[in-house]
Amino acid sequence: MPEKRTTEETFTPETATSKEETAALKGNPAKGEVLLRVEHLSQHFGHLKAVDDVSFDVKRGEVFGLVGESGCGKTTTGRSIIKLYDITGGSIYFKGRRIAAGTLEYRQEIKRLREEADAKIAEINAGADSEKEAKIKQCKAELRERVAQEKAKIKAARSDHRDCEKKYLKDKTQELKAAYEKALTTLPAEQQAKAKEEYDNALKELHRHKLVTQIQMIFQDPIASLDPRMTVQEIISEGLVIQGVKDKSYISEKVYEVLDTVGLVPEHAGRYPHEFSGGQRQRIGVARSVIMQPELIIADEPVSALDVSVQAQVINLLDDLRHKMGLTILFIAHDLSVVKYFSDRIGVMYYGKMVELATSDELFRHPLHPYTRSLLSAIPLPDPEYEKKRKRIIYEPLREHDYSVEKPSMREIIPGHFVWCNTPEEQKYKEELGL
């Protein structure tokens, strides 16, 4: 029935995003588009500023490495992105939508405005102006207006943070409705019923899928992150079950499929985690995240707990998956050799701040920030002669920087290479690069 086929084709919802999605799943990602944008992210725990004003973009299809010593906030950054924490300040955009937002900067702005206004009023009061009252009044009115603006922003941030899923669903539903509207109203009754059914199904599907589940995480410790009392099938399919999939055969099929993808065999599905070696356990962890068909995987030190020979297996697996499924990976690790090998771009973090960001080749060829240099100088290599000569550079922030005059900020030294520095330092770095 040729006619029917053509009508079916017209039913396929064709929106910009869904096109991308299908393309991504087929392993043909639209490269260069920003998938994840982190803007001025701050995550404070009381007085501890675990992450403080960190910004970066992750483009579709790339591997973005995040390095730094333990306690520098790289794991916290990863967890904030996946909304395991409510962030203190800044915004996180995923596929152009704000999925998490904090209010720190607005609150700080309000405080600053108030202080400014107070100072101004005090100045006016001190002076011998005749129109004191009026001026003060004007000042206060201005303040009120500005504060109201900031408060509106806070409200928007809170709403985005809380209701991003609702908004996502609403928008998607509207898109779907728009796509099916014509078919539902204009087609003959028989076809309309069919279209209605499809529409309902698609709607159900939409209700199941959350935006945030398109980001998945792989954890560091393959032993602690797998429930010892669940079989591999239960562990891997848990996400699907939570989404409301009830079809057992569909679940099994999916599980077998991902097991195959990560290099395990379907027989493994019935076993328990303790029956596997460390490398295999990590594969299970990868399978669990891959089954949700994510677009972004946050790999939090996925190979640190593994033997060297097994590390290579897992890295090769992630590399394969990345090409096969068009994944984007935020790769958090402290082993610089591995990060260099695996990542396209690298961000270096130090005590909650991102101090340098560049493509991996550029970063290793021209490290600019003294902390990056000290980090690079600490990499052990399998070369005894070199190792005997290697001198570790010790980074002492107090000795290296003089920020008493000008505070540092993130600056682009050459295109794509950002360093946390102030003007004199920026000039110094530029000279070093021969600019």
Partner 1 sequence: MAKKLEVKNLRISFRTPGGKVQAVRGINFDLETGETLAIVGESGSGKSVTSKAILGILAGNSIVEGGEILYDGMDLLKISENEYYKIRGDKIAMIFQDPLSSLNPIMRIGKQLTEAMLLKGRARQRASRDAFNTLLRRLNQTMVRVSAEGDPEKAKELTKMCEDFDKFEFKHIALEKAFNTARDAANETIAELENILFLIEKNAFENPVRRLREEMNIAVKAIHPYVVSDEDAETLRAEAARVKAAAHTAAKTKEYGEICVSLGRIKGILEAAVAKEEPNFFSQGYYLTFSGQPLPDLPVHELNRVLHEYLDEHFMLHFIDYVEASLRYSAQIHDGAKQMVCAKLNAAIDFFGNMSETDDDRDRARAIRAQLGDAVRTSVDPLEIHSDSIAMTFSSSLKDAITVYFGGTKKNITERKRAAKEQAKFDRYTEKKGRRPDWTPMPPALVDMDLARENIVGLCKRLLAHYGDVLQASPNRDFRKEAIAIIDYLKENASGVVNHLTRRMAKQRALKLMDEVGIPEPRKRYRQYPFEFSGGMRQRIVIAIALAADPGMLICDEPTTALDVTIQSQILELINRLKAERHLSIIFITHDLGVVANMADKIAVMYAGKIVEYGTSNEVFYSPAHPYTWALLSSMPDLDTNERLEAIPGTPPNMIYPPKGDAFADRNRYAMKIDFEQEPPMFRISDTHFAATWLLHPDAPKVTPPTIVTERIARMKERSKQEDAGEENN
Annotate each residue in 208-247 with x if it binds partner 1 (CB under 8 A) or - if it does not, as one string: ----------------------------------------
What is the three-class DSSP state of 218?
strand
Residue closer to partner 1, measured from CB, 67 or 183: 67
Of positions 147, 187, 203, 378, contacts partner 1 by CB under 8 A:
378
Please give the residues from 52 up to 111 whose contact with partner 1 meets the rule CB under 8 A. Answer: 68-71
Tell me the residue ranges of DSSP E strands in 343-431: 345-350, 353-359, 409-414, 417-421
Contacts of 23 (CB under 8 A, 6+ apart): 29, 30, 326
* Contact of 199 with 176, CB cutoff 8 Å: yes
* Contact of 192 with 181, CB cutoff 8 Å: no
CA–CA gap between residue 304 and residue 67 (Å, rounded) = 13
Buried b (16+ CB within 10 A) or exposed e, 246-281: eeeeebeebbbebbebbbbeeebbeeebeebebbbb
Which range binds partner 1 by CB under 8 A, 78-86, 187-195, 265-273, 308-316?
308-316
Of positions 298, 315, 325, 349, contacts partner 1 by CB under 8 A:
315
Residue closer to partner 1, measured from CB, 94 or 371: 371
What is the three-class DSSP state of 54?
strand
* Contact of 251 with 240, CB cutoff 8 Å: yes
- Does the footprint of partner 1 cover residue 375 (CB under 8 A)? yes
Which range binds partner 1 by CB under 8 A, 86-94, 249-257, 292-300, 330-338?
330-338
- Does the footprint of partner 1 cover residue 335 (CB under 8 A)? yes
Residue closer to partner 1, measured from CB, 78 or 90: 78
CA–CA gap between residue 421 and residue 399 (Å, rounded) = 14
User: Closest distance between partner 1 and the C-beta of residue 340, in Å?
Assistant: 5
What is the three-class DSSP state of 269?
helix
- Does the footprint of partner 1 cover residue 265 (CB under 8 A)? no
User: Closest distance between partner 1 and the C-beta of residue 127, in Å?
Assistant: 29
Phi then psi for residue 340, to 5 deg, are: -60, -40
User: Closest distance between partner 1 and the C-beta of residue 227, in Å?
Assistant: 21
User: Closest distance between partner 1 and the C-beta of residue 301, in Å?
Assistant: 9
CA–CA gap between residue 43 and residue 89 (Å, rounded) = 7
Please give the residues from 277 up to 306 whose contact with partner 1 meets the rule CB under 8 A. Answer: 277-278, 304
Residue closer to partner 1, measured from CB, 19 or 390: 390
At 140, which helix (H) or strand (E)?
A: helix 132-186
Of positions 75, 233, 282, 311, contacts partner 1 by CB under 8 A:
311
Strand partners, 34: 59
* Contact of 347 with 66, CB cutoff 8 Å: yes
Please give the residues from 338 up to 367 whose contact with partner 1 meets the rule CB under 8 A. Answer: 338, 340-342, 364
Of positions 186, 309, 405, 407, contacts partner 1 by CB under 8 A:
309
Phi then psi for residue 304, to 5 deg, are: -65, -30
Binding stretches for partner 1 (CB under 8 A): 68-71, 277-278, 304, 307-313, 315-316, 319, 334-338, 340-342, 364, 374-375, 378-390, 392, 398, 404
